[in-house]
Homo-oligomer: A and B are copies of this chain.
């Protein structure tokens, strides 16, 4: 299994470029985790842990599913230290970081685009079928954020109707990658295009507040649904 790992993923980018992009994605995801931890009033260790989980959770889940153990997050020191750096920045500069929230969101969108592409590619390199690879690419991109919200005891913003589209851009990016693989045209360029497409879609979703519909005829009942009651007696 591990042998197959020399494959599509390697050809995509030169390792150094790939690695740098990974670290950037990890860094910005860690920032979002650390900022939520600050809002939840966690202590510095809680902030560091939420940063780690948010940045690495999606990739660890992907690696466990494809059998790539130990996950990259536990073999590459840079993957482990980058979230700590992000947490440190947030601990001392969170007012400034929150002020540049837009900037953070742009980086987060970049991480989303990158991870859905590399996650899909790595899953395929480990022998999963195209659909499963795309699903794992999505899980890689959004998994960390879901873990972040679960640990913060909040409903994952990924699932909430009142959040701008987040999953869709990742789904589009992952789908483009598997289509390229299917038609055997997955070049570094094609992968870049897929990542940029997901990135831009997420930016547009934030800019124009694109949202996904809810279930048929929910609109009328939204207020009552949002009341705390359900989660109380859940």
Contacts and interface: CB of A to CB of B under 8 A. Distances in A.
Nearest to A217: B95
A135 B80 contact: yes
Integer count of this chain's copies in the complex: 3
Interface of A: 37-47, 49-50, 60, 64-67, 69-71, 74-75, 77, 80-81, 90-95, 126-129, 131-132, 135-136, 146, 149-161, 167-168, 171, 211-218, 222, 225-226, 228, 230-232, 234
A37 B159 contact: yes
Nearest to A90: B215
A126 B152 CA distance: 31
Given A129-B77, A153-B231, A60 B70 contact: no
A98 to B, nearest CB: 11
Query: Interface residues of A: mostly helix, strand, loop or mixed?
Result: helix
8 contacts: A41-B226, A44-B213, A47-B215, A60-B65, A65-B69, A74-B132, A151-B155, A153-B155
Q: Which 7 A-B pairs have the closest CB atoms?
A: A154-B234, A46-B159, A43-B212, A67-B69, A43-B161, A74-B132, A41-B225
A234 B146 CA distance: 12
A42 B214 contact: yes
Report which residue of A135, A154, A215 has the largest number of chain B beta carbons within 10 angstroms of its beta carbon: A215
Report which residue of A77, A216, A225 has the largest number of chain B beta carbons within 10 angstroms of its beta carbon: A216
Given A43-B161, A153-B234, 12 more contacts: A41-B218, A41-B222, A41-B225, A43-B159, A45-B171, A70-B132, A75-B129, A77-B131, A90-B215, A150-B150, A151-B159, A228-B232
